[in-house]
Amino acid sequence: MATYLLAATPVHGHVSPVLRVGAHLVERGHRVVMLTGSRFEAAVTARGLEFEPLSGRADFDDRDQDAYLPDRHSHTGLQRVQYEIRSIFVETIPDQARSMRALIGRLDPDAILVDGAFAGVAPFLSAAGTDPATASRPPILALGVTPLSQSSRMLAPFGMAMFPAKNRLEQLRYRMLGAVARRVLFRSTQQAARKRVAEAGGVLRGFVMDSSRHYDSFLQTGPEGLEYPRPDLGENTVFVGVLPQESADITEPAWWGDLDGGRPVIHVTQGTIDNGDFDRLVRPTFEALRDLDCIVVATTGGREVDALGELPDNARAASYLSYADLLPRASIVITNGGYGGVQAALAHGVPVIVAGTTEEKPEVAARVQWSGAGINLRTGTPTPEQIRGAVRSILESTKYTHAARMLADQAAAHNTLAEIETEIRLAHLAYRATTR
């Protein structure tokens, strides 16, 4: 039996994938300790992992944005992106690192797995390098739970949501954009990250938005065809496929049989966090499709269904539904671009319509468009006309479903949890062989 330490930024989309891996490792007989926010304690212990809370500023509740992002409405565009990155991922580094250091000393873990944005391990990566054979700390692996943020001569800086370069001129343009991003646009964020890593006892390696190369292994989730090709991909980067959906003990609603009536089933969701205002996506979808011969299925991400108001005749709603049961029945998924939900849809061969403009969602939307497996609406507040047009385009053409099914085939080629376990075990064995 090995002892593994897992850590995740206390945001649902970061915790859930790491927790899924942890539950698998527990089932395989390992001791697994997970470090994350206090609000996830019950979810962690229910899956058999030991729970350890983050401390100080690092322990926030992602459901209460007014508490941990109090000034978000004072910023727009790139300024808001930088504010969110600094508040969630940079200013929390010292407290994350302090919690991590204490647990490493107490547990002596065989390996550490963090979500790819958990920057609290940056001081440990800088202190010992990235070769487990010479490291004085356990191997540190990361799970990519967002689109891959790794620089390349073929790509614009992450966050600009631009397709890969098609020629040398575009490569030159992207190189210039990269220099501007590092030296001007994200200069203050880079300076803040350098300061916080130093405060935690380390030295920041490279650009703050390009940390994936510095882990012993970076395990990127998602079908390979959803990610941009990189001829200069980091040697430590391994594609592991799509994490399987957990079985959910959710009672089927009384209307569940309506989904088997032969009409297209169109699922719309704003996820579990960005669901405070259903006028952004869910209600416009109801309006767009009320006269279409289909069934519209909405989930409220934990809110009461009554918050949606009166539903059109062809709409159904639930607080939560089992994706393992819903997605095989779906023809289209309309989403604000959460990476986990998009992966789940594509793993079932379901084309996606994305309407997202915050966090990494524009990058998700751009990759969906580039892959051909869906439509990018390029806004977080689409009109009913935009939604209706996108739905008709997908229903009236086979190309989107064909592309989505190609990605589903790629996902099915992986045994994702087993592959992740193998990567962790190999890193663990290499580490223990050098510490005997």
pTM of the model: 0.93
> 56 and 5 in contact (C-beta within 8 Å)?
no
- Separation between Cα atoms, residue 94 and residue 68, nearest integer Å: 16
CB atoms near residue 74 (< 10 Å): 9
3-class SS of residue 20 = helix
3-class SS of residue 77 = helix
The one-letter amino acid code at 398 reads T
CATH 3.40.50.2000 placement within the chain: 3-242+414-435, 256-412
Please give the average per-residue pLDDT across 393-420, as a whole number.
97
pLDDT tier at 271, thresholds 50, 70, 90 = confident
| High-pLDDT (> 90) share of the chain, % | 76
Please give the average per-residue pLDDT across 6-33, as a whole number.
97
The radius of gyration of the chain from alpha carbons, rounded to an integer in Å, stands at 21
- Which pLDDT tens digit goes with each residue over 281-314? 999 999 999 999 999 999 998 788 898 999 999 9
- Separation between Cα atoms, residue 2 and residue 111, nearest integer Å: 9
What's the mean pLDDT when you consider all of the chain? 92
CATH of range 3-242+414-435; options 3.90.420.10, 3.40.50.2000, 3.30.70.270, 3.40.50.12240: 3.40.50.2000
67: tokens are 């508490």
Shortest CA distance to 302 belongs to which of 77, 39, 59? Answer: 39
The CATH architecture to which 256-412 belongs is 3-Layer(aba) Sandwich (3.40)
pLDDT at 219 over 50: yes
> 232 and 214 in contact (C-beta within 8 Å)?
no
- Which pLDDT tens digit goes with each residue over 148-199? 999 999 999 998 899 999 999 999 999 999 999 889 988 999 999 999 999 9
- Which pLDDT tens digit goes with each residue over 83-131? 888 888 999 999 999 999 999 999 999 999 999 999 999 999 985 444 4
Shortest CA distance to 167 belongs to which of 157, 154, 158? Answer: 154
